[in-house]
Amino acid sequence: MFKKVLIANRGEIAVRIIKACHQLNIVAVAVYSTADRQAQFVRLADESVCIGPASAKNSYLNREAILMAGINTNADAVHPGYGFLSEDELFAQMCEECGMTWIGPQASLIHDFSDKTNSRRIAKQRGLPIIPGSGMITSETQLYDQANKLGYPILLKASHGGGGKGIRMANSAKELFAKYQIVKEEADSSFLDGSIYLERDFEDARHIEVQVLGLPDKLLILGDRDCSLQRHRQKIIEESNASVLTKPERQELYKLVHQLLDDANYQSLGTVEFLLVQHQFYFLEMNTRLQVEHSITEETSGVDIVQAQIKAAAHNSLGFSYVTFDGHAIECRLNAENDLTNFVFETGKLQTFLMPTGVRVDTGLQSGDKVTPFYDRLLAKIIVYAPDRDQAIRQMQKALSQVEVCGIGTNLTELKRVVASQKFVTDQYDIHSVGKLMEESNHESYA
């Protein structure tokens, strides 16, 4: 097992990984920017190294600085968390070259499966249905040609995008170029790679994903999730397992995942994402890393996913060879964005930060902490687990009623509205439901 792991991330996920390290008796090294000097994850880590100024580009995306921090502290592995450099094949390769194990799939697999244009091509080759879309867009003429071919509305997606960044919808050719430039800019600054492709937008679909852990001899499926409740393409509420699936649908889904990965020798944690449109699965993309919403799968599978990921990277035995599922889990993402002012990112001091008791809350923050404008908006993940979906919903409603945040605006009202809505309670929602629900309730409040 590793002796010392460097965590190339911040916030709640750094806290989560530090906890997993400590449970495995691994020394945890935090790296941080000057803006995070006082952060909880820095205090929780056994060692910490300041790697740069506030801007992510010069700190959490600074490969050389993070590697030097690993070398200086004698770390033997690097956990990239999610976002930042977690799907950066060059960084994965550099870690290995510096003698540190990359806790993730090898660089060539990141190249194949994390890059969205590559993974779509591979999925197609292996017989998975894929969403109608284009290859990499390299010129303005090509942009218009491909968009006209696919029809509107259309999605522009950064090849390395994720977490709601690097994705925009265009309703017409008029909007196309402006949206293209926005996505390109976001992709350049957030993912250090500006490549973009197009995809048809489905009106009425559900986002279903499968959590996998590749081992030397087999591919373990740790469960599935329904992540259809999104705003601006960013997941806000997730469920495990996806209760909308029938037994044959779930079998079909897992079969597609095996079809994609069985011959790939994929040895790490990953998520394969699909859209479910009228009982048909379309391959969307794959994430070759730990995901924000891994926590709900931990609840229903009983597997500590972060520990399992670290053990797999160290070629240690997991201590189990199959997974069973029990109960239902729901996660709500509490974000620093005011649902009363069109979801502007709010920053400042958390004067009050009261989280519900008796349920799982993953956060890197506490009362008195500051939310800075440099990174993401996630304040906390509120996770409930109950024997069935109805009880889980009631638990979540109760948990949300206990949340109190003062100092900055949050999306708490939105979360409460969605969780109380008929569509959610009856499990009849799709990827556009959050936007529609918020529009409806805004009209009601004006009436």
Partner 1 sequence: MKLEDLNKLLDKLEQMNFSEVELEIDQTKIHVKKGFDATTKQMVSVKPEQSQRDVTSDEFVIKSPMVGIVHFETPLKNGQKVSAGDVVAQIESMKLFNDVTSPRGGLIDDVRVQDGDSVEFDQPLLSIKKDK
Q: Residues interacting with partner 1, by CB under 8 A?
A: 34, 49-53, 59, 64-69, 72-73, 347-349, 370, 373, 407
The three-class DSSP label of residue 59 is: coil
Q: Minimal distance in Å, beta carbon 364 to partner 1?
A: 19
CB of 370 to partner 1, least distance (A): 7
Nearer to partner 1, 37 or 255 (CB): 37
Contact 170, 147 (CB under 8 A): yes
- Name the residue nearer to partner 1 (CB basis): 30 or 123: 30
Q: Which is nearer to partner 1, 144 or 345 (CB)?
A: 345
Considering beta carbons, is residue 34 or 402 the nearer one to partner 1? Answer: 34
Provide the minimum distance between the beta carbon of 54 and partner 1 in the complex, in angstroms, as a whole number: 10
Any catalytic annotation for residue 63? no
Give how far the C-alpha of residue 376 lies from the chain's centroid of Cα atoms, to the nearest Å.
12
Amino acid at 137: I
Tokens 């009623």 sit at which residue?
401
In terms of Cα–Cα distance, which of 294, 270, 288 is closest to 381? 294
- Least distance in Å: CB of 66 to partner 1? 8
Report the nearest approach of partner 1 to the CB of residue 372 (Å): 9
Nearer to partner 1, 66 or 323 (CB): 66
In angstroms, give the least distance from the CB of 121 to partner 1: 33
As measured in angstroms, the least distance from the Cβ of 373 to partner 1 is 7
Residue placing its CB nearer to partner 1 in the complex, 53 or 132: 53
CB of 55 to partner 1, least distance (A): 12
The angle formed by the CA atoms of residues 400, 405 and 409, to the nearest 5 degrees, is 105
Q: How many CB atoms lie within 10 A of CB 427?
A: 14
Closer to partner 1 by Cβ: residue 139 or 342: 342
Q: Residue 151 region, left (φ>0) first, then alpha (ψ -120 to 50), else beta?
A: left
Q: Which amino acid is at 76?
A: D
Phi, psi of 50 (to 5 degrees): -80, 125
Order of strands across the sheet with 77-79? 47-52, 27-33, 4-7, 77-79, 101-102
**Cβ-contact 189, 181 below 8 angstroms:** no
Q: Measure CA of the first residue to CA of the last residue in the chain; give whole Å.
A: 62
The residue (of 84 and 113) whose beta carbon lies closer to partner 1 is 84
Q: Say how far apart CA 437 and CA 418 lie, in whole Å.
A: 7
**Secondary structure of residue 229 in the 3-state scheme:** strand
Q: How far apart are CA 61 and CA 178, in angstroms?
A: 27
Residue of 16, 289, 333, 377 with catalytic role:
289
Is the omega angle on the peptide bond into residue 241 within 30 degrees of 0, that is, cis?
yes
Q: How far apart are CA 311 and CA 420, in angstroms?
A: 39
Q: Which residues are paired to 168 by β-bridges?
A: 156
Q: What is 260-321 written as a DSSP string?
A: HHTTTT--SEEEEEEEEETTEEEEEEEE-S--TTHHHHHHHH---HHHHHHHHHTT---S-S
Q: Compute the least distance from the CB of residue 288 to partner 1, in Å.
A: 25
For partner 1, give the closer residue by CB, 50 or 314.
50
How many Cα atoms sit within 13 Å of 74 on the Cβ side?
4
By C-alpha distance, which of 267, 271, 254, 285 is closest to 122?
285
Question: What gap in Å lies between CA 240 and CA 293, rounded to an integer?
Answer: 9
Q: Which residues are catalytic?
A: 289
